[in-house]
Structure 1
């Protein structure tokens, strides 16, 4: 596996991807208690997180970078429709895979995995909702601060980023102490899972974010308009196949 490379200059760059994959679709599984799939979550082998029916006929995979403004914009547009209208009915599952482009991405990725895995999507949404604030801080950092992000022992670098960007306040709002947050930032098991995701990204030849696959097919577009159209088309295709 190639070593993950970080470039602070690319902190807001969002590029086009070339290919990706998703699990094969199957018939819907039995609905959970209450009839809604909105709270059905799972962590995959590589540390990605899936929301919804694991056997949904439509499977969306999102490759996201937390420092990508377009990813935050997509999340703002898509999440209410997917989470409130489509995922609950078992029509579609949504899997989030990290695309780590820089040390801030890695820090946030570690913190979204800090705590109960079932709460991942809550933390995921919170970091995107506040992205404009902490990303502005990241872009305004001094050379001395950036040196602390890139040089020295891993744990110290993660703590420096979390402190400089106010992430301890975010985790504190979730009931985590600073010591507990620091433990998450140096979770070796989670770090290996995130590295595994990057190995998958590299193997697929991906180059940037945001991008999406639907039932294993790369979508030719990087916004909610493209994704929503692809979902509607796939629904029509599946209905035609069931006649």
Structure 2
């Protein structure tokens, strides 16, 4: 899909516009985009601001920046396979490689649906200090806050998680209502997935290698090879 149309569509979703996504099995497919007239009216403005917006987004990382192996994970907060990895394999990755200084880890969000964008905005609401803690809570409670896919239930579930993480209701609402931040995140997401050719989650970029899926054993094999083990 055209980058600018995607931005318009997802921002329209946050504002209750005509665009929407159908969620299924932790993934999603687009079934309708914003009306063409609206898209044409807004495309020029979006194009002018998208590059600047991308540079404003903070990369969320863990570990030693000088570690010999760089791992970038692309994941969606609504992806069940991503949830499984973060509840299981990620703990081993962190203990065995990130905390030991062997891997510098970067987490990049993917927005295949509106709830994934909302969850990202909530996770980033507490800044870098709280990001991975809130991410952990979102994945641990994934089945509960996603429920049956009702937007109100999902938003309320994410607000509850953020409150557990110590954020105030006013802070949470301000984060979720920040349309400029939403647009910036979508621009950033689209630039990343286009650059790295990401079409599924979770996907990992390990140096020059790519690993798709939540198979920790395969991830470990590629990392060990790059470490010379």
TM interval, shorter chain, is 0.7 to 0.9
Q: Take 1:106 and 1:123, find their aligned partners in 2: how far apart are those partners?
A: 14
TM score, norm. by length of structure 1: 0.69
Question: CA shift at 1:173, angstroms?
Answer: 1.5
Name the residue aligned to 2:199.
Answer: 207
Contact residue 58 and residue 93 of structure 1 kept, 8 A? yes
Q: Take 1:14 and 1:8, find their aligned partners in 2: how far apart are those partners?
A: 6
Question: CA shift at 1:136, angstroms?
Answer: 2.6
User: Secondary structure of 1:9's match?
Assistant: strand
Question: CA shift at 1:121, angstroms?
Answer: 0.7
TM score, norm. by length of structure 2: 0.73
- Answering whether residue 159 of structure 2 is matched by residue 168 of structure 1, we say yes
Give the number of the structure with larger relative contact order, counting CA–CA contacts within 8 Å between residues 6 or more apart: 1
Name the residue aligned to 1:33.
Answer: none
Contact residue 71 and residue 204 of structure 2 kept, 8 A? yes
2:131 to 106, 111, 120: 120
Q: Take 1:83 and 1:45, find their aligned partners in 2: how far apart are those partners?
A: 27
Question: CA shift at 1:10, angstroms?
Answer: 3.9
Question: CA shift at 1:78, angstroms?
Answer: 2.0
Q: Give the count of matched residue pairs.
A: 189
- 5+ residue gaps, structure 1, are 16-43, 142-148, 150-158
User: Secondary structure of 1:93's match?
Assistant: strand
Q: How do 1:187-198 and structure 2 match up within 5 A?
A: 187-188=178-179, 190-195=181-186, 196-198=188-190
- Answering whether residue 43 of structure 2 is matched by residue 52 of structure 1, we say no
Higher mean displacement: 168-177 or 120-129: 168-177
Name the residue aligned to 2:140.
Answer: 129
2:74 to 31, 39, 63: 63
1:81 to 78, 92, 102: 92
After the TM superposition, which segments of 4 or more aligned residues of structure 1 sit over 4 Å from their partners? Answer: none
Q: Take 1:209 and 1:88, find their aligned partners in 2: how far apart are those partners?
A: 24
Q: Take 1:211 and 1:14, find their aligned partners in 2: how far apart are those partners?
A: 16
Question: CA shift at 1:66, angstroms?
Answer: 0.7
Name the residue aligned to 1:226.
Answer: 218
Question: CA shift at 1:79, angstroms?
Answer: 2.1
**Higher helix proportion, which one?**
2
RMSD: 2.5
